[in-house]
Structure 1
Amino acid sequence: MNYREEFWGIYREAIPILLLALGGGLFAGLVLEGLLESVERFPGLLVMVPVFLATRGNVYGALGGRISSGLHQGLIEPRFEWNERLVNAVAASFVNGITISIVIGFLSWGALQLLDRSSAHLFELVGIMLLAGTLTSVVMIVGLLALIFAGYKLGYDPDNLVGPIVTTLGDIFGMLFLLIAVLTVEVIV
């Protein structure tokens, strides 16, 4: 295969998933607009949104890279099964996703305090992040694995799928679960 054929092959594989990512980003924006009503109730909420979404990409992009490498090397089969490498990667991502979410709540609250800005209570911001982080971790792991495995079985290079899948799932479910977490904390508090 020459470089031109390889280029067009990568391009053909990436375009459909990038178009889906575009739609997912638009949906996430609509959810964000719905979240704006809660900003007054939870000052500091918007400070956490970009950090929360970025960390979804960082944590689960690393998981996707590990899975992709494992598939290429034949160390992981494209199915849900007990595989020590797969289980360890998933467990580490789950713990990282939840831990970083809690840290986001603490750091956001602390930064707002240092800047003498209005903020919700510490337990509210951390609670929102904990709930949203836990829910997104579950969906990101299952969704990412399912889509990478399905794409691989269909002959797609998982390296071309990981980035757009992580971004799209992270934006859609990150914002959706952030909204659900805000509504839940609002009811509890």
Structure 2
Amino acid sequence: MTVREIATEAYRESVPVLVLSAVGGLFAGVVLGGWTPETEQVAGLLVLVPALLATRGNVYGSLGGRLGSALHQGLVDPTLSLADERVNAAVAASLANGVLVSMLSAVLAVGLLTALGRPSAPLATLVAIALLAGVVSGLILTVVVVSVVFVGYRRGLNPDTLAGPVVTTTGDVVGVATLLVATRIVLALGGG
């Protein structure tokens, strides 16, 4: 293939996904814009948003990259057997990292807000919100990433082209939605 053919193929695969990514990002922004009651009840909640959204993209983007590389190298079967130890290990590591970083983000947010003399919800409240959002968004993103990478690969698409934009968009939409739902659940249970 020539450089021009490779570039054309890359654009053909990525432009529709990038357009969906932009639309998804706007949708996540609209959802975030409606958070006024929650942000008034949980001081410091907005500090968590960028940290949690960034880690969704980083952790699950890495998962997509690892799976794409494993497929390109022939290390995993493209039919996606649930018994594949490499896939299971990558998924388990991503879930563990995502949940751990979510909780750490809550601890750091409370520490930073306290150090700056800004109001903060109790540590237990922010950790509970981050933990619940981290687990639920992690499970959803794992299913999305694994599905996109393997289905795309089987259809002849480059998983490296698909994984980044899909993970970013899905991570933003799912991250904002699960953070909002987690906040409402924690508040309903008396946290805050």
What TM-score do the two structures reach when normalised by structure 2? 0.96
Match of 2:75 in 1: 75
Match of 1:41 in 2: 41
| Matched ranges for 1:1-189 at <5 A | 1-81=1-81, 82-189=83-190
CA contact (8 A) 2:148 2:159 kept: no
1:125-166 alpha-carbon deviations (Å, 9 max, x no partner): 101100000001000101111111111111100110111011
CA distance in 1, matches of 2:150, 2:127: 34
CA distance in 2, matches of 1:178, 1:80: 30
Name the amino acid aligned to 1:117. R
Name the amino acid aligned to 1:18. L
CA distance in 2, matches of 1:76, 1:27: 35
1:36-80 alpha-carbon deviations (Å, 9 max, x no partner): 321110010111100110011111111111000001011112233
Change (3 A) 1:78 1:184: same
| Structure 1 unmatched ranges of 5 or more | none
| Structure 2 unmatched ranges of 5 or more | none
Report the 3-state secondary structure (helix = DSSP H, G, I; strand = E; otherwise coil) of the residue aligned with 1:39: helix
Report the 3-state secondary structure (helix = DSSP H, G, I; strand = E; otherwise coil) of the residue aligned with 1:120: coil
Name the amino acid aligned to 1:104. S
Identity %: 48
CA contact (8 A) 2:78 2:153 kept: yes
Name the amino acid aligned to 2:178. F
Runs (4+) off by over 6 Å? none
CA distance in 1, matches of 2:78, 2:100: 28
Name the amino acid aligned to 2:53. L
Greater shift, 71-80 or 21-30, is seen at: 71-80
CA distance in 1, matches of 2:106, 2:2: 50
User: What's the offset of the Cα at 1:118?
Assistant: 0.4
Name the amino acid aligned to 2:124. F
Greater shift, 77-86 or 65-74, is seen at: 77-86
Greater shift, 26-35 or 109-118, is seen at: 26-35
Q: How many residues align?
A: 189
Report the 3-state secondary structure (helix = DSSP H, G, I; strand = E; otherwise coil) of the residue aligned with 2:41: coil
CA distance in 2, matches of 1:138, 1:97: 10
